Amino acid sequence: MTTVENTSKGGLGAWLKTDTPTSRFHARCISIWNAWADLSGNFLAMVGLAIIIALILMAIFAPWLATANPNIQHLGDRLQPPGWQGHLLGTDELGRDIWSRIVFGARVTLYIVGLVAVTAPVFGLIIGAVAGTIGGWTDRLLMRLTDIFLAFPRLILALAFVAALGPGIVNAVLAIALTAWPPYARVARAETLTVRRSDYIAAARLQGASTLRIIIGHIMPMCVSSLIIRVTLDMAGIILTAAGLGFLGLGAQPPLAEWGAMISTGRQYLLSHWWVATIPGLAILTVSLGFNLLGDGLRDVLDPRGNRQ
């Protein structure tokens, strides 16, 4: 019986819940469905996913969600408290609407998170897979380089790179990516050492597969699940690092709305006008919490050793 016949006879639910997949694609769909079923049963993970989806939607629909231009100054309305009649979350020291700046700041946060997520893990995966597969002096050289980067606190090393490259959001992203890859390299190397002597790797070598093909086609896919977990859990630290650079004036430059820079300019009003610095701080806290909750849920679902609670 074909896949189409199975789907039409028992429905999509039955097709996804069967214990006898009819193809590799069918088996992969069943695996994804089971992972989603496990993840959706975790309430805290769903809360984290909802926060991240809200961040993405806020960034996409920022022009429609914002109630004012985030960069236009209205000195006559400076330091207005939050309220339903005027500004929802108040105004800052230059009279700019804080809600609008929070909404557009979501774009900056998502931009930083997205670029770091597609650069640092990929670079770390390549380094770790190559080191673990080839071994010998290549492994020692790459791992000692990784240890050098791990020896410095991430924020301090990022500050050094930004100081050398110059302030700006692009340089901040580059600095964070350059300091974020070593943990992924370590994870990838550990996974590679676990699977490189497996029977299917030996079979691939006997069939004449090159080392490059083994790394790309067999080793790297086995490391992806562990890297996804690590990336999700590291997003909170990346957001805090970006906010720290913005707080020090080395990240996004004025008048661009960025949550760390908003805290920096509002800290002098913390005692008299608490909302100026507190609200962007709560935004950073909420998004960081969302990534941590989702990361914990993904760790339970994607644990390669099956140690689920």
In order of start, what are the domains of the chain with their CATH numbers?
24-302 (1.10.3720.10)
Provide the pLDDT for residue 31.
76
Using a 10 angstrom Cβ sphere, with 0-12 exposed, 13-18 middle and 19 or more buried, the burial of residue 266 is buried
Q: Are 293 and 45 in contact (CB under 8 A)?
A: yes
* Residue 71: DSSP 8-state: T
* Residue 268: DSSP 8-state: G
CA atoms within 13 A of residue 119's CA, in its CB half-sphere: 15
Provide the pLDDT for residue 303.
65
CA separation for the pair 168, 299 (Å, rounded): 34
Provide the pLDDT for residue 201.
81
Residues of the chain short of pLDDT 50, as ranges, are: 1-9, 304, 306-309
10 Å Cβ neighbour count for 44? 13
User: Which tokens is 245 given?
Assistant: 């650079």
pLDDT in tens, 194-237: 888 787 788 878 888 787 888 888 888 888 888 888 888 888 88
* Residue 197: DSSP 8-state: T
10 Å Cβ neighbour count for 131? 24
Q: Are 208 and 278 in contact (CB under 8 A)?
A: no
Residues making up the chain, counted from first to last: 309
Give how far the C-alpha of residue 227 lies from the chain's centroid of Cα atoms, to the nearest Å.
11
Provide the pLDDT for residue 66.
87
Run of H or E including 3: helix 3-17
Helix then strand then coil, in percent of the chain rounded to 5, is 75, 0, 25
> What is the pTM for the complete model shown?
0.81
